[in-house]
Structure 1
């Protein structure tokens, strides 16, 4: 077996396992902070007496803030030790989450979401940059799948617990719990993560604006950003309004929403990692193409779902989450590998900015299209959102053919 494909030695394997565990824990908390807003939608709309449009803006506030901070961080993120940058960003994110827990009004919560997004968006980019720096390309798909499985774990454990606390205490409770978890992970990261300065060995001193110019003048980087945009539009036009639709149109009680995320998470915690392994074995583009093509079916079904027995709704929503993760894992692995290490931090920060901006636009546009029936209070035009998401899915399949792997 060649050295390029041989398994790492035992001590190195242990260090790599700890690195991926801590990165997954950080990813879990920051994803949990973002996705908990979706199932809390019906309760927040009721408590604050807000419309779907205002709820869409509440979701968008986080993503727009993350987009701006991601773009600004691209000027300096590659100049620092990855560990130190990660700890500072994670501390800021923890404070933003705590502010969400304290929020007494819609306006306060909106501001708190902006603060959390300012740090959370860059965190996700830095996590992926560390994977790109630390994990060889032949194992990068599997490593990305493990860290991306944090979304599934958040769905399995975090969201049901969060919904339970919100239903039996208040919507503030999940954010208090998340703050405590963030503090624990922060201490663990501080104690366990090694210094990460390898990217600085290839650093060429230049004006920060030159990094951005380099990134934005490379065709491959632009195709990576385009892939991020179409994928975000294909997903986040649907995801923020999935829970409100299940309550208003399919007949779920708010306390029953946790089962949607429980079943979806249980499935995707396995399938996301399997998608990463398949991507390493058969090629990331090939696996993405199949996952994207298949994903159109559950997108169209879930956005047109009538009142059906709950078990049928669970089948549809679980299939939706499975294909959502199966296409995202190889896509992120390809994007991470589309730039050399010396520019990866800046590139991933800009990519995070692009992702958050596109996700925010997706939620905002969906909020403009979806309306409440004044009599039945059912959500209208969610089927139109499904068509839009399917069109962007097809576009993503075309864009990915243009993307090249660099490192």
Structure 2
């Protein structure tokens, strides 16, 4: 039995579906802050609904200009939808902008050449299909190839890859067809194209909503784990990750080094220069230290002007060298717009952790060393030993 689809019925579902998707997005984002991605997405859906309306009534419209208009609407509408998705996924960078500028220029040139010099339905279908396929190719590649992307992005990338393949197949079918084609012509490539448009209408909206939810979740997680002023781990997140890192080191029987750092005379910085300058000093300190740490190292703010660093796989000699490097780097750093120079004191402890590492004990021992560093004049590194009793309760 031949598989046939009523293309006009599909067009009605595309018109009503895109209009409904605008209402769905508006309801979902009603209480959310206004953002460019949502505006682009809403406009894209209205443009696509208008495109499919023009396609459905094309036989009653005079002249080929409306055909050109419908092609422009689907490309602009589809392009805005893809850009909105890329923006929501934080993938719309300089390379994406360059790509879409080039594709847009090529698409306009090809449509113009076909319209003015060889205006046939087959060439218009082939050109529009190839252009749409190129528009979709970028998110198809980026969502599937980006390392660390979410499973949602991978699924979306695979579906976009499938749709891009369908569009290329439709373009070749139009180019090599022995009969004239139009948007209502039957055939496997045509049916797959309209089914793909219907699926992408649903996937695009669901994907946009889920990407929006992912971004909100990532922002909440960042707020829960990151110190707002310095941009490094807060105390709770540092302790959680340090426990995990120490447990992994215990399994491998490798050392870890714990550095407790305090900015010397920080209260005087606030009193003499003001809290704005004090905040600048904290940000400068965090950036200076973070720049000199490795990808496995942990760095967090314990509170006020007290910070902690965990160095997995680093022994006593190497941790002493690292601590001294940090001390000198901070001492030689400068706060932009200020002549203020500040120093730090560091307490260090190195252990091979047990299966249940006691991070609070590492803190106490490094705090004892830090206390000694302050007592001896500050701006120095002092080491504590594993079984050493703290000098301060």
User: Larger strand proportion, structure 1 or 2?
Assistant: 2
**TM-score normalised by L of structure 2:** 0.26
Q: Using CA pairs below 8 Å that are at least 6 residues apart, which structure has the higher relative contact order? A: 1
> Counting helix residues as a fraction of each chain, which structure ranks higher?
1
Q: Which has the larger radius of gyration?
A: 2
